[in-house]
Amino acid sequence: MKQPTFAGLSAALAGLGTALGFLTVQLRAEGYEQYVESVATASVVMWTTACLTVVTWVRYRQMNSE
């Protein structure tokens, strides 16, 4: 059975979360306060999803190593 691509998915989600974090800082610096909260929330959601993907990856490996 082929292993799912958890590493690629987690890296992509973390990269997107980082990019959104930088966008949040840029928006705040340029005065677009009305968008800062929603973009920051999306960034946190991406990072949380990346972390949960890593947890799923670890549990998948433990389950299939036995």
Question: Residues 6 or more apart from 33 whose CB is under 8 A from it?
Answer: 27
- Number of Cβ within a 10 Å radius of residue 37: 11
Least confident range from 5-9, 12-16, 30-34, 52-56: namely: 5-9
Mean local confidence (pLDDT), 6-25: 95
Mean local confidence (pLDDT), 19-23: 97
